[in-house]
Amino acid sequence: MTKKRWMLLILITAAAAIVGKSYYDTNVFKTAHVTFASEELPSDTSIRMLQISDLHNKQFGESNEPLLHAAKEADPDMIVVTGDLIDESTSSMEPMLQLMKKLTNVTEKIYFVTGNHEWDNPHTETLLNGLEERDITVLGNTHTQVEIDGAVINLAGIDDHYTNHHNLIRAFQGINEEHYTILLSHAPLIVENETAARADLILSGHTHGGQIRLPFLGGLVSPGKAFSRATTKERTDLSPAAGSTSTAASAPV
């Protein structure tokens, strides 16, 4: 085989691999389980949260049954949806509204914050009104208190930081900082804001669980932060004697 044919074969193989990976990434969701402890929670408290992010109006199987099954298996005390439930071009909100309604059978405690695609979609008001009609709490630059397993936690949520709709000062206004505080923000770069540091835990989406990484160098490029040091995944072990929080995050790969 000539050198040109070898090169052609390599290019075809690479192209097929990219197409296959792209198809997999947009048609398969994965669930990651993370357990950690915090001294801010009572020692006998255990909280299970399910975070769902960046579905982009995707249907996983008939009526999203595989996703609903995974949510039931996670057995969460509460569900948080961190934006991009729809795509910027989504015209019908009904599929995602039906999904969210079915999730209320898993737990009544469901909280939502907007992502950049919500703000780029002209029908977002229909989505937000539909969520509230289905008893989903929309946290738009505000906070609430949630009681689980004898513990009271603050749950703050901001509108999308990436599109500049966030207001952290309003979200934290009047919050009782004696309680453990969770901040929901679609865009993870909110961590660079000093006010966000008032939260004990920040849950975000937007990067779809990935970024461009090189061996030894770590993250280089991620959505919203191209060609600069991207956020890398780290594992932190906290006091095992403190109350624990278990998070199962489901999103497209």
According to the 3-state scheme, what is the secondary structure of the chain? CCHHHHHHHHHHHHHHHHHHHHHHHHHCEEEEEEEEEECCCCCCCEEEEEEECCCCCCCCCHHHHHHHHHHHHHCCCEEEEECCCCCCCCCCCHHHHHHHHHHCCCCCCEEEECCHHHHHCCCHHHHHHHHHHCCCEECCCEEEEEEECCEEEEEEECCCCCCCCCCHHHHHCCCCCCCEEEEECCCHHHHHCHHHHHCCEEECCCCCCCCEEECCCEEEEECCECCCCCCCCCCCCCCCCCEEEEEEEEEEC
Lowest average pLDDT, out of 87-96, 202-211, 224-233, 235-244, goes to 235-244
Mean pLDDT across 65-84: 94
Residue 171, CB half-sphere, CA atoms under 13 Å: how many? 28
d(CA 245, CA 85): 24
Asked whether 121 and 160 are in contact (CB, 8 A), the reply is no
**Nearest C-alpha neighbor of 213 from the set 188, 230, 235:** 230
Q: Can you give the pLDDT at residue 231?
A: 38
d(CA 96, CA 60): 11
* 230 C-beta neighbours (distance < 10 Å), count: 21
d(CA 251, CA 253): 6
In the structure encoding, which two tokens stand for residue 100, read together?
């969210």
Q: Can you give the pLDDT at residue 219?
A: 55
* pTM to 2 decimal places: 0.80
Q: Can you give the pLDDT at residue 126?
A: 96
Mean pLDDT across 194-199: 85
Q: pLDDT band at 14, cuts 50/70/90? A: confident
* pLDDT tens figures, 198-230: 899 999 988 765 555 555 555 555 555 544 433
pLDDT at 101 over 70: yes
